[in-house]
Amino acid sequence: MLITMPTILKCDIDFKPPQEWLELWKKTRHILLEKLGYHVHDIFLHPTDFGWHVIIHLGDEVDDSFQVNMLQFLLGDDHTRVKINFERNKRGEKYWNILFTNVIWRKPLEHPCDKCRILEVVKEVTYHA
C-alpha cells in the first residue's frame, strides 16, 4: 500500500475582511482546489497584525515545490511572497515556503527633505562658507 504525505499550503493575506467575507473565501478556496483535483482536509486561519496567515491541509501529496507555489498564488497568497518563493525555488532552497510573523526588513521611506529646495540652500551655505 502506497502512503502519501499530505501537502500543506500557506497563504498570507494582508487584509482583515469582515467575517462573512472570510467564510466565503474559505468556501471558494475549497471549491477551487477540488476543481483542480485536490482533496482539502482543513483550512486554518491565524490572525496577524495586518491580516491572516492561512494554512490549508491537502490530502494529496504535491512533491513539486513550483506547483505548491503556483497553488498558493491561485489561492490568493501575497504576490510579493509568491515572487520571493519562486526565486527561492529556482535557487533550490530547502526551506522556501515561510510565513513570517515578524517584519525583518522594510524598505525605508524616502526622506521628505531629500527633494526640498531649502535643504539644497542650507547645504550650499554650509559647504561654501
At 76, give phi and psi (nearest 5°). 105, 20
Q: Tell me, what's the pLDDT at 1?
A: 43
The number of beta carbons lying within 10 Å of the beta carbon of residue 4 is 11
Where do the domains of the chain lie? 1-129
pTM to 2 decimal places: 0.74
Q: 3 or 25, which is more confident?
A: 25
Cell triple for residue 45? Answer: 486561519
Helix, strand, or coil (residue 126)? helix
Q: 28 or 113, which is more confident?
A: 28
Q: HSE, CB side, 13 Å, CA atoms: give it for residue 59.
A: 8
Q: 123 or 95, which is more confident?
A: 95
pLDDT in tens, 40-83: 999 999 999 889 999 999 998 898 999 999 999 999 999 999 99
